[in-house]
Amino acid sequence: KVEADKKVAEANQQAADAKAQAAKAETDADEAKQAKLDAEARAQAAEEALEAAQQLPSAPTNPVMAANTIISGFQNSSVGSDNSAISTNSSSNYDTLTTKLNETGTSRFDDPLELSLRDSTDLDYEGGFKKSTLKSLKPGSSLRTLKYTSTYKNFDDQMQIGHIHGDYKTSNNGFRLDLVSSVNIQGNSTAADDMQYMKDLSQYNIANKLNDGKVAYNGVASYIGNSEAEIIGHDPIIGTSEFKVDFVDSQVDGTLSFDGSNVSDKKIKAEITGNTFSGNWNGVDTKGGFYGEDAKLLGGVYQVSGGKGTYGASKVDPTVEVIPDPTESKMTGFQSTALSSKEKTLPFGQGQLDNAIGYVEIRDDKSAWTELKTENGSEVPVDNRKGDNFKSFNTGVVRADMVKPDSVLKPIEVSLTNASGEIKVDAGKGNFNPTYKYKAVYENFDSQMQVGHVYGNFDSAAGDVSRAANVYVQGYLTAQAGIDKLKQVNDGKAQYNGVATYIENIHLADNASTAPVNGTSAFNVDFVNGSVDGTLSFAAGGYKYMPAGNQININADITGNTFAGNANGIDTAGGFYGPDAKFLGGIYQDASGQGGKGTVAGTGTKFQGTFGAEKQ
């Protein structure tokens, strides 16, 4: 009977599989039929458009005029509380700019400064922008130093927008005298005959009822605030821009958006004069222009009461179908840092260390703080959502300052791809500040996603005083359109297989070396019902804290293109990365107790790890 039941079950399963295959085949056939109908409709529309075009009067003739060879544009600068008007500038190349800091009214600068904007060592930033290393210049006096970073985006050497931001200091002791922030737009402006052609073409389109005569431009935008917290140690926030240009009525209307940040949308309204435009509407003061042949580019600078920025956009070809980007342009991610210490009296009156461990909570790319609150008897940061923690696959920050802000005052900048490194930790102890001696391991998935560990001890004159163990996932999240598309495939279900890591002895008092162990991962994802269920499996070993069966279960709920969960004592967060959610990646942390808070080794959070998998 048992054998017969087994055969019946197998037959039922085979029947179910056959039905599923038949249903899929029927769905595929329906999709193919619909695709054929759509193609026929497009062909019919094209024929009708051609027939209509053949009956229209001749369109204006494109004069085919090259853009102006002189590079010109606009800039706006502030030095401390002194701010300039938006003024014109010209340059012989895109590598340097005569920056008019002296026009702000400050007494710091008597003359304009020739500043370097770009060179071959610059690194990719985000949204197509590049970022220079920190530059140093002594303008006029060996007793003063201008330290600044240049962040810019170049459009085919026809237009360039950018920021210069930093501070002006004394050279002997590095005392900050003033903050410095400047924005610029420069390019090869569109020829006058081409501007007239754009107006004539728009008028032609209106007269023949082809469209409303307005021309669309899409691109990027940037913003940086005026405060020290927004300029020092931070880079411009990158967003998007959309414009409608009315060449007939000489109007520019646009919106700058900074989704995922605390920066509000900026409305650009300006009037065109020649090949430039200017406007001041609802507190947004702006100037810009058209660049390249046929006004193919639009760019400008703007200032508001709290900061300043740039925008640059390309003309949209209405005959070309716009295909949404498969991934988000900005790198994002999640990280968790377990920080621990063991009881010890520090020498030289530096205080007392306690037996302690915790991670507080998993942080994301926007996590940052300026204020504290009391939670479960501890002072913890209030997340102000003004951070920018994931910018590169090569370097990163360990947010130990958001675990114990009285012991770690600032984020710790580390290399993610070098096997080891050392860096001073700002613990507020001056010459007694410890050095973070760390190791790093990582796995990168087609430059779309990366998971990794940064782990090691804080070494000081008193020996090892703390252990910091960090896990992270970062990359380019799948665009929401890609997630929505997956809901229509295979009933929204997908499987992912890949790798996993596990690390224990993350408490300094474990008195043992610590290093990640590699394993495997398998996930079942339901995009329709918004669930992620996975198992991380590891080979047998001499573990202290590994869960039963050398397996860790991951359960999370999907929100948009990310997921998070806290089940079975495991805190987890991650997301879907790459086109069509090709990769799934995340981190996990043993959540024994609120925020993993504990005292001696074996209490509180005891292990953490990562996982990265590819869709099957």
51 or 603, which is more confident? 603
What six digits make up the tokens of 411?
């984020």
Answer for the pair 109, 139: CB distance below 8 angstroms, yes or no.
Answer: yes
Instruction: Report whether 451 contacts 443 (CB < 8 A).
Output: yes
Cα 591 to Cα 362, 535, 571, 598: the distances in Å are: 10, 17, 6, 11
Residue 463: how many other CB atoms lie within 10 Å:
12
How confident is residue 7, by pLDDT bands cut at 50, 70 and 90?
Answer: low
Range in 28-42, 129-143, 179-193, 358-372 the model is least confident about: 28-42
pLDDT at 3 over 70: no
Question: E strands, 282-389, where?
Answer: 284-291, 297-304, 307-315, 332-341, 344-345, 352-353, 356-358, 363-364, 369-375, 378-383
Strand-pairing partners, residue 381, are 372
- Long-range Cβ contact pairs of 316-324 (< 8 A, separation 24 or more): 316/215, 316/216, 316/217, 316/218, 318/211, 318/216, 324/479, 324/481
Tokens linked to 257:
């958006």
User: Could you report the per-residue pLDDT of 85-121, keeping only the tens digit for each?
Assistant: 999 999 999 999 999 999 999 999 989 999 999 999 9
Span(s) in the chain for CATH 2.40.160.90: 71-315, 332-615
May I ask the CATH class of domain 71-315? mainly beta
**Structure-model confidence comparison of residues 342 and 20, the more confident one:** 342
Class of domain 332-615: mainly beta
How much is the pLDDT for 12?
73
pLDDT at 101: 95
Closest CA to 153 of 125, 180, 191, 179: 125
Report residue 605: phi and psi, to 5°: -70, 135
Displacement of CA 73 from its chain's centroid (Å): 28
Q: What percent of the chain has pLDDT over 70?
A: 95
Residue 250, CA atoms < 13 Å, CB-side half-sphere: 11
Is residue 1 pLDDT above 60, yes or no? no
Question: What confidence category does residue 511 fall into, taking pLDDT thresholds of 50, 70 and 90?
Answer: confident
Predicted local distance difference test score (pLDDT) of residue 380: 85
53 pLDDT above the threshold of 60: no
Q: What are phi and psi of 101, to 5 degrees?
A: -65, -25
Instruction: Compare 33 and 327 and report the one with higher pLDDT.
Output: 327
The pLDDT tens digits of the residues spanning 523-558 come to 999 999 999 999 999 999 889 999 999 999 999 999
Rounded CA separation 463/580 (Å):
49
Query: Is 25 in a helix, a strand, or coil?
Result: helix
Cα separations (Å) of 223 from 165, 226, 237, 266, 315?
A: 11, 10, 5, 10, 22
pLDDT at 325: 81
Residues whose CB is less than 8 angstroms from the CB of residue 4 and which lie 6 or more positions away in sequence, other chains included: none
* Close Cβ partners of 183 (under 8 Å, ≥ 6 residues apart): 75, 76, 77, 161, 162, 163, 164, 222, 224, 301, 302, 303, 308, 309, 310
Beta strands in 156-275 (DSSP E): 159-170, 176-188, 214-225, 237-246, 251-257, 266-273
pLDDT band of 453, cuts 50, 70, 90:
very high
What rounded mean pLDDT belongs to the chain? 91
Looking at the DSSP bridge assignments, the partners of residue 59 are none
Phi, psi (rounded to 5 degrees) for 457: -115, 155
Q: What is the tens place of the pLDDT at every residue in 56-94?
A: 888 999 999 999 999 999 999 999 999 999 999 999 999
Q: How many CB atoms lie within 10 A of CB 279?
A: 20
Give the residue-averaged pLDDT of 565-575: 96
The pLDDT of residue 412 is above 90 = yes
In the predicted structure, residue 29 carries a pLDDT above the cut 80: no
Compute and round to an integer the Cα radius of gyration of the chain: 29
User: pTM of the prediction?
Assistant: 0.65
Place of tokens 């660049």: 291
Residue 141 has pLDDT above 70, yes or no: no
pLDDT confidence bin for 430, thresholds 50/70/90: confident
pLDDT greater at residue 135 or residue 261:
135
Q: Are 301 and 319 in contact (CB under 8 A)?
A: no
Return the pLDDT at 260: 75
Model confidence at 4, in pLDDT bands (50, 70, 90)? low
| Torsion over CA: 278, 284, 290, 291 (sign) | positive
Residue 139 is predicted with a pLDDT of 80
Between the alpha carbon of residue 144 and those of residues 111, 133, 136, 140, the distances in Å are 15, 20, 10, 8
pLDDT of residue 49: 63
**Cβ-contact 331, 353 below 8 angstroms:** no
Q: What is the mean pLDDT of residues 410-425?
A: 95
pLDDT (average), residues 416-427: 95
Question: Could you tell me the two tokens for 358?
Answer: 């915790």
What tens digit of pLDDT does each residue of 335-383 get? 999 999 999 888 777 778 889 999 999 999 999 999 998 877 778 899 9
Which pLDDT belongs to residue 35?
A: 75
Gap between the Cα atoms of 121 and 114, Å rounded: 19
Region 245-260: mean pLDDT is 94
